[in-house]
Structure 1
Amino acid sequence: MTVAASGPLLETEGLTRRFGGLTAVDHVDFQLFPGEIRALIGPNGAGKTTFVGLLSGRIPPSEGRVRFGGEDVTRLPAHARMARGMAYTFQITSVFANLSLFDNVALAVQRRLARGEGLEAETMAALDRVGLAGRARQTAGDLSYGHQRLLEIAMGLAQRPRLLILDEPTQGLSDGEIEGFKALVRDVAAEATVLLIEHNMDVVMSLATRITVLDMGARLAEGDPAAIHADAAVQRAYLGG
């Protein structure tokens, strides 16, 4: 898919967040186009999770703007951005531990459906996409950490988002599950834009169409995987070259 032919799905201008004397995100300009699988990388403390918190509406900015689908959403809370088609899975799992896998995903489906029609079918379809349909009646809190991450992705997919933001999604997954995750993201990208915050560079380099690198809260570099891998500044700051 050629992404440059249309305007950005998500855009920031001068996006900044300060916590007291610390500037966690420093005047970041960012554009994400429909159909992309974009990776956001950087060393620990680079501001990645704060940045996606600003994108999703969980953290208010100190300065700057966020636009989603051409609309200024800077002051909209997370639930309002979700209603517009943005889904965000967390670095730390946020499943309802005492509910079944089915009920966790059904709650996400219900946010989108005006009526309950098709609730069971759509819930099971989302679980099936992440390989958890056979565990639908299991209690979510009994899952391994990696499988809780997959459940959270199913909850995001159940919302049929225009933008799916995945924060450290492969943490806790086995090598085989990571391969399944890659296939899933490629499948999702046919219908939604994906923003991936990920430390596993094999995953990043094999999935991303473009990569944005943050360092000390600012945008250090941006480009395709080959360009990022060869960038001297990125090598010094993050890749260990």
Structure 2
Amino acid sequence: MTLLEARGLQRHFGGIPAVDGVDLTLRAGEIHALIGPNGAGKTTLVSLLSGRITPQAGRILFAGEDITALPAHRRVAKGIAYTFQITSIYPRLTVFDNVALALRDSRDLPRAVGAALARTGLQALAGETAGELSYGHQRLLELTMGLALKPRLLILDEPTQGLANEDIAGFKALVRSLVPETTVLLIEHNMEVVMDLADRITVLNFGRSLASGTPAEVRANADVQAAYLGGDDAEA
């Protein structure tokens, strides 16, 4: 079943096309990776999907509903959660309070926060100040805040950036545990993580979709090799 379908999305900045007629289909319960070289338009595309910016053309359907004009907070209510490329937490608050803010409308707040922290293994750090956590734990806290919303679609923007190898292994195990209840859209520059986790991959280049398919299909694609896999790994 298709969970999200985007067709013909466009967004230009100063006349330069950051996203130029992109189509994207996310199936319910899959891990879908979005890759591409620096400046390919990955972060702009997910900002369009999450409602942080508005497309200048195109259409976005979520569970069959047109959400193209909905602002970000309305999309969160529909079941779309987005974690940022740069860690976005409340550094002066405790770990518990960070998650509580994400769940402020929950009827049983302590129980909901406790369940979210337990899922990501942060329950022992509930009373710690978020800004004093290690970088890996801060990234995990942000992921916890997203998961606490019990999203149908979780968008992760460069989640392994700056993580140690042992943290990456734990991250991969956590993401695998989310499906099929949660669909994951993963924007990631670490190709080992992408090839290990993704059911399907979409490759962007110069704001357009270059290829889409299984990891094996994408790896074997000559255009992808020339544009991305054969060159220097990059981020966008």
The alignment's TM-score, normalised by the length of structure 2, stands at 0.95
1:198 aligned to 2:188?
A: yes
Deviation at 1:131, TM superposition (A): 2.2
* CA–CA separation in structure 2 for the residues paired with 1:211 and 1:162: 19
Please point out which of 114, 125, 128 is paired with 1:124.
114
CA deviations over 1:107-141 (Å, ceiling 9, x no partner): 11224x2x2x2x21221221222222111111111
Letter in 1 for 2:17: T
CA deviations over 1:26-55 (Å, ceiling 9, x no partner): 001111010110000000110000000000
Gaps (5+ residues) in structure 2?
232-236
Please point out which of 73, 85, 89 is paired with 2:83.
89
1:46 aligned to 2:36?
A: no
- In the alignment, what sits opposite 1:28? 22
CA deviations over 1:41-74 (Å, ceiling 9, x no partner): 0001100000000000001111111111111111
**CA RMSD in angstroms, aligned pairs only:** 1.0
- In the alignment, what sits opposite 1:214? 204
Whether contact under 8 Å (1:147, 1:173) holds in the other structure is no
* CA–CA separation in structure 2 for the residues paired with 1:239 and 1:64: 29
Equivalent pairs counted in the alignment come to 231
Letter in 1 for 2:62: F
Please point out which of 99, 110, 118 is paired with 1:105.
99
* CA–CA separation in structure 1 for the residues paired with 2:60 and 2:151: 18
Segment drifting more, 67-76 vs 138-147: 138-147
1:69 aligned to 2:63?
A: yes
Percent of matched pairs sharing the same residue: 65
CA deviations over 1:136-169 (Å, ceiling 9, x no partner): 1111111222221110100000000000000011
- In the alignment, what sits opposite 1:3? none
- The alignment partner of 1:44 has SS state of coil
* CA–CA separation in structure 1 for the residues paired with 2:111 and 2:162: 28
CA deviations over 1:213-241 (Å, ceiling 9, x no partner): 00000000000001111111111111116
Letter in 1 for 2:45: F
* CA–CA separation in structure 1 for the residues paired with 2:192 and 2:116: 26
- The alignment partner of 1:15 has SS state of strand
1:162 aligned to 2:152?
A: yes
Letter in 2 for 1:195: L
* CA–CA separation in structure 2 for the residues paired with 1:176 and 1:27: 38
Letter in 2 for 1:35: G
- In the alignment, what sits opposite 1:228? 218
Gaps (5+ residues) in structure 1?
1-5
Moved over 4 A (4+): none
Higher relative CO (Cα under 8 Å, sequence separation at least 6) belongs to: 2
1:175 aligned to 2:165?
A: yes
The alignment's TM-score, normalised by the length of structure 1, stands at 0.93
- In the alignment, what sits opposite 1:148? 138
Whether contact under 8 Å (2:28, 2:180) holds in the other structure is no
